[in-house]
Each structure stands twice: as C-alpha cells, then as structure tokens.
Homo-oligomer: A and B are copies of this chain.
Amino acid sequence: MSVLPKSVENVITQFSRLPGVGPKSAARMTYHYLRSPNKDASKLANALIDMDENICFCSKCYNVSDKEVCDLCSNLLRKNSKLCIVEEPLDVVAFENSAIYDGVYFVLGGVISPAEGIGAEDLRFKQLKERADELLEELEDKKLEVIVATNPSLEGEATASYIHDIFEKNIKEGTMIVSRLAMGLPTGADLEYADRLTLKRALEGRRSI
C-alpha cells in the first residue's frame, strides 16, 4: 500500500521527469499545488495544454513559434545577411535579451553527441543547408555570414566543425564566411580560477590593444 494517493504519485512522477528535478523536489512541487487554494494546478495544466496545441516550429529558423513563420524571421528589420546557428530556442532568447544581434537565427535542435546517441541525422543540418541556400538566393551580393553559436563544449565544437564542412564549398566559392563565437575569459571572471582550456583559448585568441 502506497502512502500517497495514486493521483498524487502520478503528478510527482511527471514532475520528476523534468530536467534537474529529483524525487524530493518533485514531491515539494506537487504538494505546493495541494496546498495552494487558487487552482494553480489547473492553471499549469491549462497552460501546458495550450502550449501543446498552439506551438509549432518556425518553418524557416525552427525556433518555437505560434505562427508558421516566427516574428524574428518575418521581421523585415532583421538582416538576412547574417545567420546565427544555435543549439536550442533558449539560446535565441539569450541573444535577443542581450540586444546585440540584428541578423536571423537557425535552431539546430541540439548538438552531435555520440555519448547520448545523437548523430548528425538527428539534427536539422539538411534544413540548415536549405535555409542558408534560400538566404543566399535572397541576397543581392550573394554573401552570407554564418555565425556558429553552439556551446563551448566538446560536442558544441564537434558540431561547429561539422557545420564548417557542410558549407565548405560555399566558403571556397567565397559566398559564405563561417565564424565561431570567440572563446576566452568571461567578464568578471577570476584568472586564478579559470580552467586550462579557457586560459589556452584566451591566449590563442589574444588581441592587440
């Protein structure tokens, strides 16, 4: 006999499947709803159902969207001469919140990770190639800058090389420049605590002042 009613156990199970949520936090989250007087559980439930029904992927950048073409891709003020490739939709949010980029995006949907069984065929490389070709088509000067903004992890690096290889022909033709986000010390970091690879990258990427 379980101590908890089945329907409570179910919610705990569902919560504990979320990233970073252990069984204890899942139980706390569930009990929060049992305690809360103002139907918060059904608010979350309805929000989830609404999201499930209304969200699709933008047909151009594959970011999550509630339209066939997302607000960023349909925004005529964004420069279509720059294509920033990111892993996840949250990376787009990070860029947009920083207001430092005026081009368009492409969301790969992850990185190549043999350890997690994610191969190139699981990611949107085919769609990326198509999107890049489409942008090139639109550009008068036929020059597209591709900025690879995958995470500075082993997998992110491997994926960046893979992207480089995909566009090799374009790079040689001179129709594309493929760059990678700079690596080095983050603002406010303490040199003393920087890891070896970060220091190495910071040294390699040193700039004259």
Residues on A facing B (Cβ under 8 Å): 1, 3-8, 10-11, 13-15, 17-21, 25, 27-35, 39-52, 54-55, 64-66, 71-72, 88-90, 92-93, 96-97, 109
Contacts and interface: CB of A to CB of B under 8 A. Distances in A.
A20 B14 contact: no
Contacts of A19: 28-29, 32
A25 B29 contact: no
Contacts of A14: 40, 43-44, 47
7 contacts: A4-B89, A7-B51, A7-B66, A8-B55, A19-B29, A19-B32, A34-B89
A50 B9 CA distance: 11
Contacts of A33: 48, 51-52
Contacts of A46: 45
Sorted nearest first, the 7 A-B pairs with minimum C-beta distance are A5-B66, A45-B48, A14-B44, A45-B45, A10-B47, A3-B96, A7-B51
A31 B71 contact: no
Dominant secondary structure at the A interface: helix
A92 to B, nearest CB: 6
Nearest to A88: B31
Contacts of A109: 35
A54 B5 contact: yes
A5 to B, nearest CB: 4
A109 to B, nearest CB: 8
Given A44-B15, A51-B8, A71-B1, A28 B20 contact: yes
A29 B34 contact: no
A51 to B, nearest CB: 4
A55 to B, nearest CB: 6
